[in-house]
Structure 1
Amino acid sequence: MHLSKDDLLRYNRQIIIPEFGQSGQEKLLESSVLVIGAGGLGAPILQYLTAAGVGKIGIIDFDEVSLSNLQRQVLFNTQELGKSKAETAEKKLSQLNPTVQFKVYKESVNSLNAKEILKDYDLVVDGSDNLPTRYLVNDACYLLGKPLIYGAIFRFEGQVSVFNALKADGSRGPNYRDLFPTPPPPEMVPSCSEGGVLGVLPGIIGSMMANEAIKVLCHMGTSLSGKLFVFDALDFSTHQLNVQANSENPLSGENPGITDLIDYEAFCMGEVKEQSIREITVQELKERMENGPVELIDVREDYEYQIANLGGKLIPLNKVLNQMDEIPRDREVVVMCKMGGRSTKAIELLQQEGFDQLINLKGGINAWQKEIDPQMTAY
């Protein structure tokens, strides 16, 4: 590919690097990358890959910009609240570098569409924040033979790795299932919206992920394939853990049991679904509330309750067992949180104490805001 005069000017500062040169820039311009998520991690990933000159970038995100995003998702601003993240990202990134071709997917990636979407890209960068998507994207990349840049953030800690990288002998490096063969219980892996994250951390980790993507695309340097890089922003410590191929990996091991994409929600929520926890949808709860009083327990934190609530009794998850005498045992009680994870954990704990009439609010206050009361403050 011949670099134009504008290319030589725009990318001059990286072209003059001896290890990169014009050949590196040409590789980037000819490459295509799919970025999963345009949020905390996705924003810096998209910005740096766009600025670097990746030829084609796919942006997949079904969500809209909300006020609580702006603390860390610096691609967006207050005037864009309520707008599509994917479309807003494309508009801004096109202004940053109009030579890049963008393709927007205003949808969530799932078992039905993943392979069809991923097949058109050379590399996938996963900026998602939930386990089902991570396992889904990992499996799809392995089945399609695509390298995957992995990143995760939580509070002060971030992780980066390169999975399924193509080796010189034609084989592939370790994948996500070599590191995490099976998912931990959902309550052990809260999302940023439930566990929190330092605002600058996604910028740090996202930049590292973009760096790994450029190295893989340009066949430059040594990638994090076979290693898990861990960064702690609180004490500025770093660690690198070796990741080796696992012969019992259900996807890429000696006797693989996974040969196509599966139901990843069920896979990651398996331990919860094995228990007899009743659920109620927000529509069903609304109907009950219209027909009479409903006993409602909210296990979020006080500051969350102040942002938005349904009037239930506030008993934070870490106080549930200490305050269980305040929860009725002789009638049905709906337990809720932000998204349904903490309320599920609360019910599990209370069931062990003999409670048998607890019902989990599916989707929590988030689902109520989206499906019942869009005027309610989202966070």
Structure 2
Amino acid sequence: MATAFPPLVEPGPELTLPERERYARHLILRDFGPEAQRRVRAARVLVVGAGGLGSPLLSYLAAAGVGHLTVVDDDVVEVSNLHRQVIHGSSTLGMPKAESAARRLADLTDLVEVDAKVERLDPSNVREYVAACDVVVDGSDNFATRYLVADACEIEGTPLVWGTLDRYRAQVAVFWSAPPAGYEPVSLRDVYPQPPAPGTVPSCGEAGILGALTGQVGSLMAMQALWLITGVAEPVLGRLVLIDSLSTSQRSLRVTADPDRKRATALAPAVGGESCEVSLAGTPAGDGSAVTEIGVAEVSRRLGSPGTVLLDVREAGERAVAAIEPSIWVPLGELGAALDDPTSPLSRALGAGEHVVVYCKAGARSANAAKQMIDRGADAERVESMAGGIDAWSDEIDPTLPRY
């Protein structure tokens, strides 16, 4: 059968009767048919992450009949996941996401082998996982893992289906350092050479994410994996797909390899950190500035006592979910204006010599805010960042506060 793209996987044995029944709507598709389905069944796919993107990815790849799926995720299901991570449910709260996903897929189909790995990818294990599969699909939610997986794929020559989400927008691409003849190699670092500095890009827990968008993007990523496996259509290799749900628009940009960039030959130590940075209490925050962090237990002891003010620098939507009171609220983007206004509650607190403890969701934005205050003349001994943010407060002080 002629293909639009050189198929990655050779066809497996003839389909069984149960397989022909289950995949009948694939088999009657022109240009797909039994041969493509046999390629899908013979494929081995690694899915990184069983969250927002991993939910539709795993569901549709399993439903399509991918013979072997490995899912790697070390997180557990939380209630705030359920508006977008639809592979999980209320009955699996607290369960490792990889195991919850595997349980759902076992109910969806008994024709697919699912290997659930409750662990985090790191330089010691990622190449082994990547080398053992035909395609990697990255649905992870932090920069350290994204770049680690991309570098491992570049070294091993394994195609990578990549996607990322930001509030109402998303991007999807296929990267491959060793594509078929006639196609130019391109990798993540050709497009985005380095991850952003920790704390400069908010996580979905800080900025929010439209739940339905994860379904759209994860399904598109699953489709790219199927095109790589079968060759039925050309994947978006060499293109960056940009999706904007607010305008219901989608466009693509051509991307090429950077001729001046050295190809990855070894894995560097993980950089970029989690999308929510959490530093250790009592240590300088972020980039080694003079900001001091304070643990939630000490904040709880001081809260409400004279001489200490709590400053919340999160966004309005976050504060609507949960807040630590009493506190002053100044979103990080409005901090400069509050410091310039001598009548603002923050300026009055600083002028009165009170200790200001800054908090956010996980600690990165509060450290940023504290540094800004110190850089603009506040006494470094009277401005502190609360380590771990409201997440740590919920864990250690007040478990009744909603998590998000």
Q: 1:140 aligns with which of 148, 152, 162?
A: 152
Query: 1:274 and 2:299 equivalent?
Result: no
Provide the C-alpha distance between the structure 2 equivalents of 1:285 and 1:235, rounded to a whole number of angstroms.
Answer: 42
Amino acid at match of 1:264: V
Provide the C-alpha distance between the structure 1 equivalents of 2:317 and 2:258, rounded to a whole number of angstroms.
Answer: 43
Query: 1:352 and 2:375 equivalent?
Result: yes
- Kindly indicate whether the alpha-carbon contact (under 8 Å) linking 1:277 and 1:360 is maintained by their aligned counterparts in 2: no
Q: Secondary structure at the match of 2:193?
A: coil
Q: Map of 1:198-277 to 2, 5 A cutoff?
A: 198-250=210-262, 252=263, 259-265=266-272, 273-277=286-290
Does the C-alpha gap of structure 1 residues 141 and 332 become closer, same or farther in structure 2, counting only changes over 3 Å? farther
Amino acid at match of 2:104: K
- Kindly indicate whether the alpha-carbon contact (under 8 Å) linking 1:277 and 1:359 is maintained by their aligned counterparts in 2: no
Q: Secondary structure at the match of 2:336?
A: coil
Does the C-alpha gap of structure 1 residues 326 and 29 become closer, same or farther in structure 2, counting only changes over 3 Å? farther
Query: 1:286 and 2:297 equivalent?
Result: yes
Provide the C-alpha distance between the structure 2 equivalents of 1:277 and 1:147, rounded to a whole number of angstroms.
Answer: 43
Provide the C-alpha distance between the structure 1 equivalents of 2:86 and 2:47, rounded to a whole number of angstroms.
Answer: 16
Deviation at 1:64, TM superposition (A): 2.1
Query: 1:334 and 2:357 equivalent?
Result: yes
Q: CA RMSD in A?
A: 2.6
Q: TM-score scaled to structure 2, two decimals?
A: 0.83
- Kindly indicate whether the alpha-carbon contact (under 8 Å) linking 2:53 and 2:215 is maintained by their aligned counterparts in 1: yes
The equivalent residue for 2:136 is: 124
Q: Secondary structure at the match of 1:200?
A: helix
CA deviations 1:287-318 (Å, max 9, x no partner) are 46447855432211344334333434332223
Query: 1:304 and 2:330 equivalent?
Result: no
Provide the C-alpha distance between the structure 1 equivalents of 2:348 and 2:99, rounded to a whole number of angstroms.
Answer: 47
Q: Secondary structure at the match of 2:75?
A: coil
Deviation at 1:336, TM superposition (A): 1.5
Amino acid at match of 2:84: R
- Kindly indicate whether the alpha-carbon contact (under 8 Å) linking 2:165 and 2:209 is maintained by their aligned counterparts in 1: yes
Provide the C-alpha distance between the structure 2 equivalents of 1:259 and 1:185, rounded to a whole number of angstroms.
Answer: 22
Q: TM-score scaled to structure 1, two decimals?
A: 0.88
Does the C-alpha gap of structure 1 residues 372 and 56 become closer, same or farther in structure 2, counting only changes over 3 Å? farther
- Kindly indicate whether the alpha-carbon contact (under 8 Å) linking 2:74 and 2:98 is maintained by their aligned counterparts in 1: yes
For the pair shown, the structure with the greater C-alpha radius of gyration is 2
The equivalent residue for 2:338 is: 323
- Kindly indicate whether the alpha-carbon contact (under 8 Å) linking 2:312 and 2:359 is maintained by their aligned counterparts in 1: yes
Amino acid at match of 2:49: G
- Kindly indicate whether the alpha-carbon contact (under 8 Å) linking 2:60 and 2:222 is maintained by their aligned counterparts in 1: yes
The equivalent residue for 1:95 is: 107
Does the C-alpha gap of structure 1 residues 246 and 45 become closer, same or farther in structure 2, counting only changes over 3 Å? same
Provide the C-alpha distance between the structure 2 equivalents of 1:2 and 1:211, rounded to a whole number of angstroms.
Answer: 23
Equivalent pairs counted in the alignment come to 370
Does the C-alpha gap of structure 1 residues 288 and 201 become closer, same or farther in structure 2, counting only changes over 3 Å? closer
Q: Secondary structure at the match of 1:136?
A: helix
- Kindly indicate whether the alpha-carbon contact (under 8 Å) linking 2:145 and 2:270 is maintained by their aligned counterparts in 1: no
The equivalent residue for 2:161 is: 149
The equivalent residue for 2:329 is: 314
Instruction: Give 5+ residue unaligned stretches, structure 1.
Output: none
The equivalent residue for 2:92 is: 80
Select between 321-330 and 48-57 the one with higher mean Cα deviation: 321-330
Percent identity of paired positions between Structure 1 and Structure 2: 36
Provide the C-alpha distance between the structure 1 equivalents of 2:131 and 2:396, rounded to a whole number of angstroms.
Answer: 33
Provide the C-alpha distance between the structure 2 equivalents of 1:159 and 1:370, rounded to a whole number of angstroms.
Answer: 33
CA deviations 1:318-337 (Å, max 9, x no partner) are 33223330453746533221
Select between 223-232 and 355-364 the one with higher mean Cα deviation: 355-364
Does the C-alpha gap of structure 1 residues 365 and 248 become closer, same or farther in structure 2, counting only changes over 3 Å? farther
Does the C-alpha gap of structure 1 residues 82 and 299 become closer, same or farther in structure 2, counting only changes over 3 Å? same
Q: 2:185 aligns with which of 150, 165, 173?
A: 173
Instruction: Give 5+ residue unaligned stretches, structure 2.
Output: 1-12, 278-284, 340-346
Q: Secondary structure at the match of 2:180?
A: coil
Select between 207-216 and 230-239 the one with higher mean Cα deviation: 230-239
Provide the C-alpha distance between the structure 2 equivalents of 1:273 and 1:301, rounded to a whole number of angstroms.
Answer: 20
Amino acid at match of 1:130: N
The equivalent residue for 1:28 is: 40
Deviation at 1:372, TM superposition (A): 5.6
